[in-house]
Amino acid sequence: MPSSPRNDLFLRACRGEPHPRTPIWIMRQAGRYLPEYRRLREGRDFLTLCKTPELAAEATVLPVKVLGVDAAILFSDIMVVPEAMGLELELVESRGPVLSPPVRSEADLDRLHVPDPEEELGFVLDAIRCTLERLEGEVPLIGFSGAPWTLFTYMVEGQGTKSFSRAKGMVYARPDLAYRLLEKITEAVGRYLEAQIRSGVHAVQIFDTWAGALPPALFREFSLAYLERLVLRLAPLGVPVILFAKDAGHSLERIAETGCTVVGIDWATPMGEAKKRLGTRVTLQGNLDPAILYAPPERIREGVREVLEGYGRGERHVFNLGHGILPDVPPDHVRLLVEAVARESPRFHRDGEGR
């Protein structure tokens, strides 16, 4: 088990232990909206940043230093796993990630392998160790992976998509192939997250960004079943597991039933509704609409109060946005968000002002 950081608000909220205010971290908190990130990125491509442990560590700690968030999330990308499985990865400006060749047949699938994380994703594990040194026990470090289904969509499509025609096409036309590919990805993700935990991360988040591409019954069959396996596999390692399945509000109860520690709530489900449906069996994370950061300060504070009041009093809420931060929001507004959560949240806690 990793040693406990000095600021343990996030871990306390994951475990439902009393704490004086609601912790906050932000999905994609180390990104282009931060001038400090753009400076670090200058003259280098994104993947070089990911694959140079000292630079990845520097990007990871940036938001802790400049925003004062209560947790760091490892600077990396979900696409490093498909790359390690044997696909070629390119990040094309304006097109996003491109994987080649796309996986469309039995033969394509058989060419993929389950990577040994120490060998083939060692740069991520080195970045974790380097980040932990730089954090000096200040805040917890969150590791992550893409969910099997979300990685499947990129691997089958070969790139981002609006219609998911190839990925969903395979689910309907060749479910046998889809199951086999999802199995292989799940094994790769399981080993990868275990290795991250062994390297010292304090929690892991699994991003199922494209959960909403599937109708509810298929989400359960082609995504949730594999998420559940991952949760069961990671449980003995003893760190909190956060499941963030975007646009899967229809299945919140089932997501919670996997046994995960934290359920990420996207901005489309009101926090009050999520709390009513899930209660305090799990910790809820979220879920301010990322676009509110374009609004003037008073509107942002109002949004923060709405989310805090939606959750209400209790020790199982981690504040976050309801999806990743957008690349052109004013950094001052993000700082204001972090301050507003610190200022407004103590009254919702027994150990704060809410006695």
Neighbours of 292 (CB within 10 A): 20
Is 29 a residue that touches ligand CP3 (CB under 6 A)?
yes
The residue range among 28-36, 121-129, 195-203, 346-354 that interacts with ligand CP3, by the rule CB under 6 A, is 28-36
Q: Which of 16, 46, 122, 159 binds ligand CP3 (CB under 6 A)?
A: 46
Is 154 marked active-site?
yes
Find the helix or strand (DSSP H, E) in which 255 lies: helix 252-257
Cβ–Cβ < 8 Å for 49, 55: yes
Is 32 marked active-site?
yes
| Distance from C-alpha of 204 to C-alpha of 207, rounded to nearest angstrom | 10
Q: Which residues are 141's β-sheet partners?
A: 72
Please provide the DSSP assignment of 167-211 as one string.
HHHHHHH-HHHHHHHHHHHHHHHHHHHHHHHHTT-SEEEEEETTG
Is 27 a residue that touches ligand CP3 (CB under 6 A)?
yes
Is 30 a residue that touches ligand CP3 (CB under 6 A)?
yes
- Which of 33, 37, 154, 226 is flagged as catalytic? 154
Is 32 a residue that touches ligand CP3 (CB under 6 A)?
yes
Closer of 247 and 351 to ligand CP3 (Cβ): 247
Q: Which of 144, 152, 222, 348 binds ligand CP3 (CB under 6 A)?
A: 144
Is 123 a residue that touches ligand CP3 (CB under 6 A)?
no
Going by C-alpha positions, the residue among 271, 278, 255 that lies closest to residue 320 is 271
Cβ–Cβ < 8 Å for 263, 249: no
Please provide the DSSP assignment of 20-54 as one string.
SS--B--TT-SSTTSHHHHHHHTTS-HHHHHHSHH
Closer of 120 and 208 to ligand CP3 (Cβ): 208
Q: Which of 5, 23, 31, 314 binds ligand CP3 (CB under 6 A)?
A: 31
| Distance from C-alpha of 36 to C-alpha of 333, rounded to nearest angstrom | 15
| Distance from C-alpha of 328 to C-alpha of 130, rounded to nearest angstrom | 29
Is 78 a residue that touches ligand CP3 (CB under 6 A)?
yes
Closest separation in Å from C-beta 209 to ligand CP3: 3
Closer of 160 and 272 to ligand CP3 (Cβ): 160
The residue range among 69-77, 128-136, 166-174, 288-296 that interacts with ligand CP3, by the rule CB under 6 A, is 69-77
Is 41 marked active-site?
yes
- Which of 15, 41, 233, 254 is flagged as catalytic? 41
The one-letter amino acid at 225: A
Active-site residue set: 28, 32, 41, 77, 154
Binding site for ligand CP3 (CB under 6 A): 27-32, 41, 46, 73, 75, 77-79, 91, 96-97, 144, 160, 207, 209, 324, 327
